[in-house]
Amino acid sequence: MRPRALIVDDEAPARAELRYLLEELGGVQVVGEAANGEEALLLLRSLPYDLVLLDIRMPGGSGLEVAAALRELPNPPKVIFTTAYPDHAVEAFDLAAADYLVKPFDTERLGRALERALEHTGSDDAPPGPGAPAAVGPPNGGPGRRGEEAAQPLARVPVQRDGRTVLVDQSAIVYASAARGYSYLKLADERLLVTFSLNELERRLHGHFFRAHRSYLVNLNHVRELVPDFKGALALVMNDRQRSRVEVSRRQAPELRRRLGV
């Protein structure tokens, strides 16, 4: 049986468009719609759903409030936020959202979000294990998740800020950290969410970037200090405003010392 999905959006045209895109993909069955947070919670507490596609700003409770309430259910559905507002992404991922789509989005982007939601195992970059659901993607063999594109280098990284796409030069990145299949970029005085996983960034950011830990990719040009602990492990003090500390795995410590010449 295909996963059961609920669409939650206060605008009827938006619900209709999302239903149309889901029917094009064919990976899930839409078995309910709600126009506000109150209706959504009533349905989600009455029937089992595998997936909820959730708007952020609605009457009767925001999508973030709905997602927080779902965590109290015994078997909560996976959540994909679908919103016109990019500025709530950090809060959404703090609530364990599978994905965060900023309107307008196309079938391909929605297909990647469904794949992420249905195959998500709780590990940032871990591959799906045996028996994982089949990938969901555009019909007729259309493109799915990033394939060959992932091998192309990134001189600048696209991020969403205040509804605009901003290109961040890689030299401005102090370090990147893992965030459930996405990543945070730490700059000198801000942290930005990007749609690349840490593995993808590692493949596409070259030169002075080093994978210090499975959860961190650091720009060696921004390392201020190496701090050993009494067990022989290392931490890096980075050159951002907060003087962030980044853990270095024991396996990576010798290569890091070699790269830094210490």
Tell whether 155 and 244 lie within a shared domain.
yes
The tens digit of pLDDT for each residue in 25-63 reads 888 888 888 888 888 888 888 788 899 999 998 877 788
Total tally of structural domains belonging to the chain: 2
Task: Give pLDDT tens digits for 97-111.
Answer: 888 888 888 888 898
Are residues 56 and 83 in contact, defined by beta-carbon separation less than 8 angstroms? yes
Residue 144 lies in a domain: no
Task: State whether residue 235 is helix, strand or coil.
Answer: strand
How are strands ordered across the β-sheet holding 234-238?
Answer: 223-228, 234-238, 245-248
- % of the chain with per-residue pLDDT over 90: 20
Choose between 144 and 11: higher pLDDT: 11
Query: What SS3 string covers 157-177?
Result: EEEEECCEEEEEEHHHCCEEE
Is there a domain that residue 135 lies in? no
Q: What is the DSSP letter of 2?
A: P
Q: What is the pLDDT of residue 59?
A: 79
What pTM does this model have? Answer: 0.51
Question: pLDDT band at 148, cuts 50/70/90?
Answer: very low
pLDDT band at 163 (very low <50, low <70, confident <90, very high): low
> Is residue 9, in this structure, part of any structural domain at all?
yes
Question: Domain boundary at 119, 134, 168, which?
Answer: 119
Give domain status of residue 16, yes or no: yes
Assess if residue 239 is contained within a domain: yes
What pLDDT was estimated at residue 125? 39
Domain boundary among 78, 104, 119: 119
| Residue 50 falls in which region: left (phi positive, over 0), alpha (psi -120 to 50) or beta | alpha
Q: Are residues 78 and 182 in the same domain?
A: no
Same domain? 253 vs 193: yes
User: Residue 175 — pLDDT band, cuts 50, 70, 90?
Assistant: very high
Query: Are residues 242 and 167 both part of a single domain?
Result: yes
Question: Are residues 109 and 8 part of one domain?
Answer: yes
Among the three residues 119, 136, 169, which one is the final residue of a domain in this structure? 119
Residue 206 resides in a domain:
yes
Do both 112 and 197 map to the same domain?
no
Same structural domain for residues 109 and 155?
no
Asked if the structure places residue 143 within a domain, the reply is no
Which CATH number does the domain housing residue 108 bear? 3.40.50.2300
- Alpha-helical segments (H) within 60-130: 63-70, 89-94, 107-119
Structure tokens at 115: 């794949």
CA dist 12 and 182 (Å) reads 30
Strand duo 175-179 + 182-186: pairing: antiparallel
In a shared domain, residues 160 and 232 = yes
Task: Give the domain range for residue 252.
Answer: 150-260
The Cα-based distances of 12 to 24, 33, 41, 60, 120 in angstroms read 18, 10, 18, 16, 29
Q: Are residues 98 and 160 in the same domain?
A: no
Residue 247 lies in a domain: yes
